[in-house]
Amino acid sequence: MENFFSSVELGVDSFETINGSKFFITSVDERCIYLSIPGNVTDRLVLNTDEIRKMLESGEDFQKVKDIASFFGKQFASQAYSYDFAIYKAIKETKNKTSRKMAEQETLKKYIFIIDEINRGEISKIFGELFFAIDPGYRGRAGEVSTQYANLHMNPEEKFYVPDNVYIIGTMNDIDRSVDSFDFAMRRRFRFIELKAENCLEMLSALENEALEEEAIQRMTALNQEIVNVEELNENYQIGPAYFLKLKHLTFDQLWTDYLQPLLQDYIQGMYDERAIMKRFEQAYGYKKKDGEDIDAAVTHEG
């Protein structure tokens, strides 16, 4: 009740009794509610705050002024009860609006679907008949579509749509050659955000070792700088920090020979002087080959 009165602009917000008598609340204290009733013979009225509080706390559903008289054990309703009833209804309506708003907020809780390497899949099979409905301009009921699965609805006349509170996140690798299959129609339905290696360094805190984290950042940064120095490569080929999370279980040398070296060899395959380029990568990363180790030894070919 206190929240209601604190939201009322005293002397400005108007209320109306069931008989159409307009009035204003001019002041409120712990015991009384002071009313102004323009055009009424008695243009001032004082209500008992405790009476309205008892009505609200009773849990009763008062539908008319006579219900209030009965509640307080009165045979006849006084003039004040008409105004009690109007304020009671206004408070109940405000509470109901607040409850509906809270329920709506809960209903609109955000749901997220993550499709990893979305460009590797067949988009038509991933989204099917909802391809149209995921367009931001057709979200919600405005983008309802009839599908072959309409029988899944309790009401077959209902259509499918993608709600506004559903978010679809797709990840993709720019250097993956299959990216070309991600056509313009699909691009229009997504917002593209580039994540560079240096934008994701905070994930290395998962190593839970400050010295290891610092060394990982230093090696990754140096290696990535050398990668962009290669004429036929660019920032899209840089190594991300996710690789370095393997340091929880591997040494830096193992990370190089088992993961980074094979990947980089694939990047530069067919380039002029591959060995010299790999040597530069090794030095930037800080890997020192063991005596007699060949640069191609890390790749095992099976016949």
Give pLDDT tens digits for 39-94: 888 889 999 999 989 998 898 888 889 998 898 888 888 889 999 999 999 988 88
Query: CB-based contacts of 222: which residues, under 8 Å, 6+ apart?
Result: 284, 285, 286
> Whose CA is closest to 243, among 204, 191, 292, 195?
204
CA distance 189 to 183: 10
CA distance 87 to 74: 19
Higher-scoring residue by pLDDT: 105, 158: 158
Residue 5 binned pLDDT confidence (cut-offs 50, 70, 90): confident
Lowest pLDDT segment from 90-99, 102-111, 114-123:
102-111
Checking if the pLDDT of 228 tops 90, the result is: yes
The CA angle 70-72-76, to the nearest 5 degrees, is 55
pTM above 0.95, yes or no: no
Residue 303 binned pLDDT confidence (cut-offs 50, 70, 90): very low
Contact 65, 85 (CB under 8 A): yes
* Beta strand spans in 53-159 (E): 111-115
Tell how strand 166-170 and strand 111-115 pair up.
Answer: parallel
Checking if the pLDDT of 302 tops 50, the result is: no
**pLDDT, position 192:** 87
Cβ neighbour number for residue 291 with a 10 Å cutoff: 4
**pLDDT, position 262:** 95
Average pLDDT over residues 221-245: 93
Tell how strand 32-36 and strand 22-28 pair up.
Answer: antiparallel
Average pLDDT over residues 193-214: 92
* Beta strand spans in 107-211 (E): 111-115, 166-170
* Beta strand spans in 5-110 (E): 14-16, 22-28, 32-36, 44-48
Task: Pick left, alpha or beta for residue 140 (phi over 0 → left; psi -120 to 50 → alpha; otherwise beta).
Answer: left
The proportion of the chain whose per-residue pLDDT surpasses 70, expressed as a percent, equals 89
